[in-house]
C-alpha cells in the first residue's frame, strides 16, 4: 500500500524549530532578516514570493519583498543587491527566478555576498556540497528539504539506487550530490537519457524535477520505491499537478509526495531555516 508523504506536517516541525531559534536570536539582539527580490510580473513567482514573505513574518523574522519592473537593467539590479549586501539587518538575499532576458543570472548569483546566499547557489558552496566539505554553509533549499522529508519518514539512502530526473542547478544537481553524500548510488537522468522510463524503474528513490506534467506513471516506478515529485505543473484544466501521475503511482510506490502539499511547503520551510542559520553564522564566518 502506498503511503503519502505529508510535506505540510514535516514543514510544520521545521517551522516550529525555526520559530524557537528566531526567538532565541531576537533575545540576543539579532532578528534574522531576508529580502526576496522579484523582477517582473510572473504570476507563479508573485504567489511564491508572497507565501515566503507571510511565512517569514509569521516566524518573527524581518522580511522584505523588493518588487522591480521587468524593465530593470542588469546594472540597476546589481546595485540593489550590493545595497542589501551592506545592510546588516538582512542575513539572506534571494533573487526570484525566472529573470527577464536582459538579466544575466550567473552574474546575479555571483553578486550576492556569499555569507547572505540563502539559496546556496554560489560556486563556492556548490563545490563544498559536491566534495562533501565539512562545516557550515547553505545548500539549495528544495533538495535539502527533500532530505529532511526522507529522514522524517525513515528512508536511509545508504546502499540504495537513486535516480534524479532533471539536471538543474536548483534541484537536480544538488539533489544528486546530497544523495551521493548520503551513500546512495545515484544516476542523473534528463531529456537526452535513452529509455528514460526504464532508468526510472531501477530507482529505490526516484526524484522527478522536469516541469513536464505526468512524465512518470505507475508503470515507470519500481514497486515499493520512494517517489519525490518536485513538479508544479498545470494540466489542460488548469489544475495543479506534478511530474508524476499520482493516481497511477498509487499501489506501486511505497512512499510518494503529493502535489500540492509535498515538496513545496518543505522548500519554504527550509528557506526560513537557512535564513536563521545565516543569522547565527554571521558572527562566525569561515
Residues annotated as part of the active site: 52, 96, 119
For the stretch 25-31, contacts whose Cβ atoms lie closer than 8 Å and that sit 24 or more positions apart, written own/partner, are 25/276, 25/279, 25/280, 26/60, 30/279, 30/282, 31/60, 31/61, 31/62, 31/89, 31/279
Listed residue (124, 152, 150) closest to 138, CA to CA: 124
Q: Quick one: angle between helices 123-130 and 172-181, nearest 10?
A: 30
Listed residue (240, 190, 184) closest to 210, CA to CA: 190
Contacts of 202 (CB under 8 A, 6+ apart): 161, 163, 187, 222
Rg over CA atoms, the chain: 19
Q: 181: which 3 cell numbers? A: 553524500
Inter-residue contact 209 to 166 (CB < 8 Å)? yes
State how beta strands 185-189 and 233-234 pair. Answer: unpaired
Amino acid at each position: 500500500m502506498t503511503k503519502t508523504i505529508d510535506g505540510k506536517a514535516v514543514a510544520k516541525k521545521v517551522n516550529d524549530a525555526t520559530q524557537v531559534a528566531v526567538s532565541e536570536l531576537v533575545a540576543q539582539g539579532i532578528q534574522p532578516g531576508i529580502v526576496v527580490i522579484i523582477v517582473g510580473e510572473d504570476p507563479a513567482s508573485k504567489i511564491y514570493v508572497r507565501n515566503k514573505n507571510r511565512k517569514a513574518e509569521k516566524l518573527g523574522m524581518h522580511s522584505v519583498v523588493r518588487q522591480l519592473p521587468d524593465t530593470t537593467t542588469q546594472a540597476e539590479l546589481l546595485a540593489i543587491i550590493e545595497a542589501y549586501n551592506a545592510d546588516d539587518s538582512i542575513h539572506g538575499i534571494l533573487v526570484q527566478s525566472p529573470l527577464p532576458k536582459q538579466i544575466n543570472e550567473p552574474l546575479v548569483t555571483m553578486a550576492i555576498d556569499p555569507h547572505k546566499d540563502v539559496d546556496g547557489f554560489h560556486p563556492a558552496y556548490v563545490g563544498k556540497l559536491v566534495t562533501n566539505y565539512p562545516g557550515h554553509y547553505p545548500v539549495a533549499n528544495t533538495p535539502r528539504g527533500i532530505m529532511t522529508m526522507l529522514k522524517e519518514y525513515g528512508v536511509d539512502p545508504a546502499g540504495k539506487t537513486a535516480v534524479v530526473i532533471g539536471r538543474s542547478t536548483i534541484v537536480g544537481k544538488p539533489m544528486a550530490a546530497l544523495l551521493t553524500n548520503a551513500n546512495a548510488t545515484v544516476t542523473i537522468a534528463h531529456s537526452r537519457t535513452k529509455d528514460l522510463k526504464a532508468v526510472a524503474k531501477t530507482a529505490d528513490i526516484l526524484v522527478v524535477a522536469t516541469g513536464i506534467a505526468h512524465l512518470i506513471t505507475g508503470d515507470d516506478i519500481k514497486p515499493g520505491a520512494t517517489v519525490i515529485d518536485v513538479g508544479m505543473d498545470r494540466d489542460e484544466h488548469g489544475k495543479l499537478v506534478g511530474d508524476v501521475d499520482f493516481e497511477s503511482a498509487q499501489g506501486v510506490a511505497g512512499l510518494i509526495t503529493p502535489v500540492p502539499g509535498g515538496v513545496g511547503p518543505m522548500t519554504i520551510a527550509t528557506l526560513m531555516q537557512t535564513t536563521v542559520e545565516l543569522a547565527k553564522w554571521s558572527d562566525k564566518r569561515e
